[in-house]
Structure 1
Amino acid sequence: MRVAIITESFPPDVNGVAGSVLRAADHLHARGHEPLVIAPAPAAGMRAVTGALPYPVVRVPSVPMPGYGRFRLGLPSRRIAAALTAHRPDVVHLASPFFLGGPGARAARELGLPTVAVYQTDVPAYAKLYPGFGWSAAAAWRWLRHIHNGADRTLAPSTASATALHSHGIERVWLWRRGVDAVRFDPAHRDADLRRALAPNGEVLVGYVGRLAVEKRVELLAPVARMPGVRVIIVGDGPAAAAIHKAVPEGNFLGVRKGDQLARIYASLDVFVTPGPFETFGQTVQEAQASGLPVVAPAAGGPIDLIDHGTTGFLVPPDDGDALTDAVATLVRDTELRQRMGLAARAVVAGRTWSAVGDELIGHYRAIQRSMTLGAA
């Protein structure tokens, strides 16, 4: 198949949308298909990865998102329709469509191309959290409803996301979860030298990996960082970095880490925490589980599907800092419990390969192609 992926974000950006699109395009190419990626141009000074990829990437003009300047918003451009016309795709994949996805969906519709819309970002929640966003939550849902109901199929990453989409009038929703690289993220990468550097007195290492942004609620780790015998490790960067440094002064901030270095950090932790209640899936939860860690997360969004409460970690009420701290404290006190939960977590995610998930995605493409063929007949 020839597939055009129109995405709101792509490397060098570091976020869930960019990462999953890269995985999808790589998988399509590996399976002998012909992907094309259409994405916002990166910020000045950020080197695009286009030249290193075995498929074309078309960049469209972009501007910084108000209140979150590191995230670029793709602008409507004639390049979208021109790229689709030149590539002649069998299907168009709209990745987390909102800004660039709107004109992308329109261009696909005008060309009579089938579309799959993949829901990944809780934009209505962002509308509440970022005053400069320019949209109300209600307006964001109206726009999402327009885009997704114009697509042939919507793919949701979790049961909570699918329920939210249905409740806001979005139709034709299927589940499509994410894979995890259980070879890269593996307990075998636990690094004794790294642990000595991060926990010189043998402290229990409690970690967070992800963007440092308002919606991630990383400041809820402040009481954990003050626990005796605990070191909080924070990996990532983002627009709220300065505020989070101030809120969690005892934290050890490592900045952005990738690849094998990130895998060693995960495996060298003892407990993983993701405090934010707006995760549509929770990829870092899977990476932590593959690394053999128990996970503490809010009982909201994607983590509900990923964490078996009491077996692979703990789900706590959203935005309840005391409950989150108590759950972490339970794991800090009980080495055997941490190990048992970590083993169970690793076993749960071992079969969730990106290859299997990529083949599921191709199955969705095939399904809408068949529907269009039957409709035409």
Structure 2
Amino acid sequence: MRFCDVSSFYSDHGGGVRTYHRHKLEWFARHPEHRYVLVVPGERPSRERLPGGTIVRVRGLPVTPGGTYRQIVDLPAVRRVLREGFDVVESGSPYLDGWIALAAARGTSARVTAFCHADVPDAYVAPAAARLPRPLAAGLVEGARRYLRALYGRLDAVCVASRYMERKLRSYGVTNLLHTPLGVDPLRFHPDRRDRLVRRDLGAADGDRLVLFVGRFHPEKELGPVLDAVRRLDGRPRLRFALVGGGPQAAEVRAALSSCRSAKVLDYVSDPERVADLYAAADLYLAPGPHETFGLAVLEALASGLPVVAVDHGAAGEIVTEAGAGALFRRGDGADLAARIAELLDADLGLLSRRARRIAERSYTWDHAFARQTAACAVLCGLPSPAARTPAPRGACGYAANPTRTPMRASKSSVGSRLVVPRTPARTFPDSRASRVGAGADSPAITEQVTGPTPVGSVTRAT
């Protein structure tokens, strides 16, 4: 098949969308039976040929300071690319990209789709309108929802990475949806990268428990509960926090934690290898952002063997719940977040770590993600779907818990009802030595999640 993506959310400076497209290029390099072209905005036109396809840069106007992000505006250039002939055109931004893709594909046989990478009404419009009179703010948010319904309703399909976004878009009146979860590189993000020197850089000595957040210091992430929880738990023996990131709230984060002896704030890290080292060095990961459409950082943490405490709003908690490898806290409640952190640190971290790694290996590699996506596109185009199978992670092997991540046993009094436990179907493994999360240490068995690849959703065209 022939695929073309048009994405103004792509930036050479990093970000989740860039990660998505770079792994897509790597996947197509291993599947030369397909052709792939990625159209992105740039300062000047260019073509870059890579093993997995071609990156075509067309004229884009800067929309952020320094030109970190740009908006594609050169419709004739995009039209010339699409005249080369494609089966599926995917737009990556809900602003102009969808309209440009529709206009450029007019007169071709290509199916035009979108990938919903952002929750625009609630993540961007609602906060921007928060200081306006309530009726006006509500009208702007509703206008954004109607806009998405108008745009997405003209497309052949809209890909969503989570059930949360599927439900949300359906509530807006968008029905032509495909559930195609994203993935993770299980070789880069691996517990075996755990390094004592990296832990020391993050402020953790031998025997300490290290709680990590990696991401933007931005209002969208709602870091207030994290800062509150760190202050509440400051002084707990052998507990350390590391917050890694940058953004408009960087100074505020540093000021809020300046008096906390257990917390360390580090600058943004762009090198993905270094990011993988940070995950592997920690014992617990925090995911406070309530507007995640999937949660790539959560999946990277799980693949690194980290249990996750995620907010109970948005998509971040979906995989955590599926894996049974963490806990959910109430949105905006720092006291509840602190309680969930304390409970997990008193639970069996070795068991939770194995569950976390297992869900990433078995169901959420990039091989899984793009095999699902390609199969869905084949059905959309009326072509034979590739044989259903579960791709094995490249080079993946069975995971034994890292010996430096010493399991901690759970007591009956330490584990609360908000800890996430696996959903059915499940398999029970007799083990008199292990404890079950949510039960006492004398429980006779542990329950571990057994999962397979997420089936491709069916497409219902909007009328």
Deviation at 1:68, TM superposition (A): 10
Question: Aligned equivalents of 1:149 and 1:310: distance in 2?
Answer: 34
The one-letter amino acid paired with 2:367 is: S
Equivalent runs, 1:224-263 vs 2, <5 Å: 224-226=229-231, 227-228=234-235, 229-249=238-258, 250-263=263-276
| Equivalent residue number for residue 116 of structure 1 | 113
Question: Aligned equivalents of 2:48 and 2:323: distance in 1?
Answer: 44
Q: Which moved more, 1:232-241 or 1:134-143?
A: 134-143
Q: Does 1:31 align with 2:42?
A: no
Question: Aligned equivalents of 1:207 and 1:49: distance in 2?
Answer: 39
Does the 8 Å CA contact 1:105/1:115 hold for their aligned counterparts? yes
Tell me the secondary structure at the aligned position of residue 174 of structure 2.
coil
| Equivalent residue number for residue 375 of structure 1 | none
| Equivalent residue number for residue 352 of structure 2 | 341
Deviation at 1:285, TM superposition (A): 0.7
Deviation at 1:251, TM superposition (A): 3.3
Deviation at 1:309, TM superposition (A): 8.1
Tell me the secondary structure at the aligned position of residue 238 of structure 1.
coil
Question: Aligned equivalents of 2:91 and 2:271: distance in 1?
Answer: 26
Higher helix share: 1
Deviation at 1:158, TM superposition (A): 0.9
Does the 8 Å CA contact 1:210/1:235 hold for their aligned counterparts? yes
Deviations 1:64-106 (A, max 9, x none): 4369974333335321112211x21121112243232322233
Q: Which moved more, 1:289-298 or 1:104-113?
A: 104-113
Check 1:15–1:37 CA distance in 2 against 1; reply closer, same or farther (3 A cut).
same
| Equivalent residue number for residue 265 of structure 1 | 278
Note the residue ranges of structure 2 that are not aligned, 5 or more in a row: 131-136, 384-463
Does the 8 Å CA contact 1:272/1:294 hold for their aligned counterparts? yes
Check 1:34–1:285 CA distance in 2 against 1; reply closer, same or farther (3 A cut).
same
Check 1:320–1:62 CA distance in 2 against 1; reply closer, same or farther (3 A cut).
farther
Q: TM-score w.r.t. structure 2 length? A: 0.72
Which residue, out of 360, 366, 370, partners 2:372? 360
Q: Does 1:152 align with 2:165?
A: no
Does the 8 Å CA contact 2:47/2:55 hold for their aligned counterparts? no
| Equivalent residue number for residue 328 of structure 2 | 315
The one-letter amino acid paired with 1:276 is: G
Check 1:50–1:207 CA distance in 2 against 1; reply closer, same or farther (3 A cut).
farther
Tell me the secondary structure at the aligned position of residue 328 of structure 2.
strand
Q: Does 1:209 align with 2:218?
A: no
Q: TM-score w.r.t. structure 1 length? A: 0.87
Check 1:275–1:90 CA distance in 2 against 1; reply closer, same or farther (3 A cut).
same
The one-letter amino acid paired with 1:84 is: L
Tell me the secondary structure at the aligned position of residue 97 of structure 1.
coil
Deviation at 1:347, TM superposition (A): 1.5
Deviations 1:302-326 (A, max 9, x none): 2232112893101112222221122
Equivalent runs, 1:180-219 vs 2, <5 Å: 180-202=184-206, 203-219=208-224
Deviation at 1:223, TM superposition (A): 2.9
Q: Which has the larger radius of gyration?
A: 2
| Equivalent residue number for residue 305 of structure 1 | 318
Deviation at 1:267, TM superposition (A): 0.6
Does the 8 Å CA contact 1:189/1:264 hold for their aligned counterparts? yes
Question: Aligned equivalents of 2:315 and 2:151: distance in 1?
Answer: 22
Question: Aligned equivalents of 1:22 and 1:52: distance in 2?
Answer: 10
Deviation at 1:52, TM superposition (A): 5.6
Question: Aligned equivalents of 1:310 and 1:355: distance in 2?
Answer: 19
Deviation at 1:263, TM superposition (A): 1.3
Equivalent runs, 1:165-184 vs 2, <5 Å: 165-184=169-188
Does the 8 Å CA contact 1:24/1:358 hold for their aligned counterparts? yes
Q: Does 1:6 align with 2:18?
A: no
Equivalent runs, 1:81-96 vs 2, <5 Å: 81-85=79-83, 87-96=84-93
Note the residue ranges of structure 1 that are not aligned, 5 or more in a row: 372-377
Tell me the secondary structure at the aligned position of residue 373 of structure 2.
helix
Does the 8 Å CA contact 1:7/1:101 hold for their aligned counterparts? no
Question: Aligned equivalents of 2:252 and 2:5: distance in 1?
Answer: 35
Equivalent runs, 1:65-76 vs 2, <5 Å: 65=63, 70-75=68-73
Question: Aligned equivalents of 2:225 and 2:329: distance in 1?
Answer: 12
The one-letter amino acid paired with 2:251 is: A
**Cα-Cα RMSD:** 2.9
Deviation at 1:215, TM superposition (A): 0.4
Deviation at 1:120, TM superposition (A): 1.7
Deviations 1:208-229 (A, max 9, x none): 1222221012243213433224
The one-letter amino acid paired with 1:78 is: P
Check 1:106–1:137 CA distance in 2 against 1; reply closer, same or farther (3 A cut).
farther
Q: Does 1:128 align with 2:141?
A: no
Which residue, out of 141, 164, 167, partners 2:168? 164
Deviations 1:136-171 (A, max 9, x none): 322222222122111112111111110011110101
Does the 8 Å CA contact 1:11/1:19 hold for their aligned counterparts? no
Check 1:216–1:139 CA distance in 2 against 1; reply closer, same or farther (3 A cut).
same
The one-letter amino acid paired with 2:374 is: I
Question: Aligned equivalents of 2:242 and 2:229: distance in 1?
Answer: 11
Question: Aligned equivalents of 1:311 and 1:24: distance in 2?
Answer: 28
Query: How many residue pairs are counted as aligned between the two chains?
Result: 364
The one-letter amino acid paired with 2:149 is: R
